[in-house]
Amino acid sequence: MSANWEPKIVAFFCNWCTYGAADLAGVSRMQYPPNIRVIRIPCSGRMSPKFILSAFRNGADGVWVSGCHPGDCHYLEGNYYARRKFSLFKNLIEYMGIEPGRLHFSWISSAEATKFVEVVTGVTDAVRALGPHEKFVKTNVKVA
């Protein structure tokens, strides 16, 4: 790991809550680590396990998925369904050997810019502590 290595974290934010929180943190000129690459999704219920795996396969060091608090979903219950899928997904990927601390989930409302800054800092620290992610990245790709 080179001395100036910085983790790359793919962050999937739901349009209505966490994306708004990121926006609010930005317009409020709050400082937070610049390690996230944000992908906006309509709802945390839209998250597919394939998105998370694709991020890891394409070299993300960490993945973070964030949506509205339970009860606040713009589509009423998308995040409740998502929560069940996330819990099975996280358990399974860690069961296969991805370190706890690479994959994060949170609920952040569009008013919670402060929580947003806290969580992005925590996520970045956790991923940084683990170092570069190599497990799901193909290394021996040969072109015939």
Partner 1 sequence: MSNYTDKIREISERLLKQGKVDMVIGFKKGTVPMMNEPCFVKKPEDISKLVWDSHCGINLANYLTDRKEKIGVIAKGCDSRNIVTHVIENKIKREQLFIIGVPCEGMIDRRKIASMFQTGSETEILSVAEQNGKIIVRTKDGEKTSERADLLQKNCALCVHRNPVIYDELVAEPVAEQKNIDRYADIREIEAMPPDQKWQYFDDLFSACIRCYACRNACPLCYCPTCFVDESRPQWVGKSTDPIDTKTFHFLRAYHCAGRCTDCGSCERVCPVGINMRVLTRKLEKDCFESFGWEAGLSLEQRPPLDVYKTNDPEDFIK
Residues that bind partner 1 (CB under 8 A): 49-50, 53-54, 57, 70-71, 77, 80-81, 83-100, 104-107, 119, 122, 135-138, 140-141
Q: Which is nearer to partner 1, 6 or 99 (CB)?
A: 99
Instruction: Find the shortest distance in angstroms from Cβ 2 to partner 1.
Output: 21
d(CA 135, CA 137) in angstroms, rounded, equals 6
Taking the complex as a whole, the smallest distance from the CB of residue 104 to partner 1 amounts, in Å, to 7
- Least distance from partner 1 to the Cβ atom of residue 13, Å: 13
CB 97 within 8 A of CB 133: no
Dist. CA 136–CA 59, nearest whole Å: 8
Alpha helix positions (H), 4-112: 18-27, 49-57, 78-95
For the bound state, the minimum distance from the C-beta of residue 34 to partner 1, rounded and expressed in Å, comes to 20
Exposure string for 72-102, b = 16+ CB within 10 A, e = fewer? ebeeeebbeebeeebeebbeebeeeebbeeb
Beta carbon nearer to partner 1, 28 or 48 = 48
